[in-house]
Amino acid sequence: MSKSNLSVILGIETSCDETAVALVNSEKEILGHLLYTQIEQTSFGGVVPEIASRAHLSHLPKLMESLFLQSGFAYDDLDGIAATCGPGLIGGVLIGALFGKSMANVLNIPFYAINHLEAHALTVRLVEDVSFPFLLLLVSGGHSQLLWVKGVGDYSLLGSTLDDAAGEAFDKVGKLLGLSYPAGPCLEALARLGNPHRFPLPSPLKGRRGCDLSFSGLKTATRLVIESLGSQITSEDKKDIAASFQKSLCDSLVDRTQNAIRLCLEHTPTFPLVISGGVGANQTLKGAFTRLAHTYGLSLHVPPPALCTDNGAMVAWAGQEKLKDNAADMLDFEPRPRWPLSC
């Protein structure tokens, strides 16, 4: 244990275009947290894996040095190292994983291979006392899933996207509207100024049975509206398109999650409802889910926006969860570009 008798875990996140490191102790204190966003990716309208990998390699050592200088902690204070080992862009994942393994080996402390999706799933327990089991809507740029979370490492998949993820749809529609990448926050800001009822866009799978999700049709329908306006499109049109798109996407998520709630209520009388992932930072979505949770008498839990998007603290906390279960990983653990969360 560290000098304070509280365990301290270093978290490393490099699965996409965010290079992040953090220190989190067993009392849920974020002792230090640094993040580098690859602004250079914005000119490409998306993430270029090779460029992302090189940026991780360049910035991770600098971030690590700054993290320990600013936090006042030393490497000898660490009780374990947690690194995202998938899913994600494999080049970036490999860099973070190898960096974490090397440190763990040199310091002779446990290494925790973290599933990026599990880190998102457990983030809420870093900031709130949310007990198992709970229903999770995980919505990000690469993943959209509904999961029944029974415990650390114990997940049942209720539904997932059949095509695009919600965050990916936000980014692609934002690009069509001429917004910078990542477009989600920009589109949300634009939508606040628009009329969400002007364009009757579809809410995919709304009203159908099951918990699967789909956003490709909504993205295509939005593209057709934009193309129909052509060069005559105005700033007001863009505001209304953004608002209409956001409303349709939120309506779809609420509908599919409502099916999942009803399914879970068949065997559990009450449980927390949790939203996590980058799209969870969307305040319109949070408002819609607040109303949904109230309808069914459930408590709604959403991490603060800074912890919804990719970050090192969520990885460090997932390491703390694994430390409590004495679930360290071997240093020969192989990073995975695909790593399903459900068992």
Residue 140's CATH number: 3.30.420.40
| One domain for residues 175 and 268 | yes
Whether residue 40 is predicted with pLDDT greater than 80 in this model: the reply is: no
Whether residue 343 is predicted with pLDDT greater than 60 in this model: the reply is: no
| One domain for residues 114 and 24 | yes
Compute the chain's Rg from CA coordinates: 20
Whether residue 341 is contained in a domain is answered as no
d(CA 130, CA 190): 33
Whether residue 329 is contained in a domain is answered as no
Angle at which helices 90-107 and 49-71 cross, to 10°: 30
Report pLDDT digits (tens) over 65-86. Answer: 999 999 999 999 999 999 999 9
Report pLDDT digits (tens) over 188-223. Answer: 999 999 999 999 999 999 999 999 999 999 999 999
| One domain for residues 264 and 174 | yes
Distances (CA, A) of 133 to 146, 212, 229, 265, 268: 13, 20, 48, 12, 9
d(CA 140, CA 120): 9
Report pLDDT digits (tens) over 125-134. Answer: 999 999 999 9
| One domain for residues 135 and 279 | yes
Domain tally, the chain: 2
| One domain for residues 202 and 100 | no
Q: Residue 75: how many CB atoms within 10 A of its CB?
A: 13
For the chain, the first-to-last Cα distance in angstroms comes to 32
115: pLDDT confidence band, cut at 50, 70 and 90? Answer: very high
Pair of tokens at residue 272? 């927390």
Whether residue 224 is contained in a domain is answered as yes
- Name the β-bridge partners of 154: 151
d(CA 7, CA 3): 9
d(CA 319, CA 73): 18
| One domain for residues 142 and 281 | yes
Whether residue 340 is contained in a domain is answered as no
Whether residue 41 is predicted with pLDDT greater than 80 in this model: the reply is: no
| One domain for residues 149 and 297 | yes
Determine the 3-state secondary structure of 301 from DSSP. strand
d(CA 205, CA 238): 25
Whether residue 216 is contained in a domain is answered as yes
| One domain for residues 77 and 36 | yes
Q: Is the pTM of this model over 0.85?
A: yes
| One domain for residues 313 and 235 | no
Whether residue 50 is contained in a domain is answered as yes
Pair of tokens at residue 111? 């290494």
Whether residue 2 is contained in a domain is answered as no
| One domain for residues 166 and 193 | yes
User: Which residue range(s) make up the domain with 192?
Assistant: 130-302
Whether residue 338 is contained in a domain is answered as no
Amino acid at 192: R
| One domain for residues 285 and 145 | yes
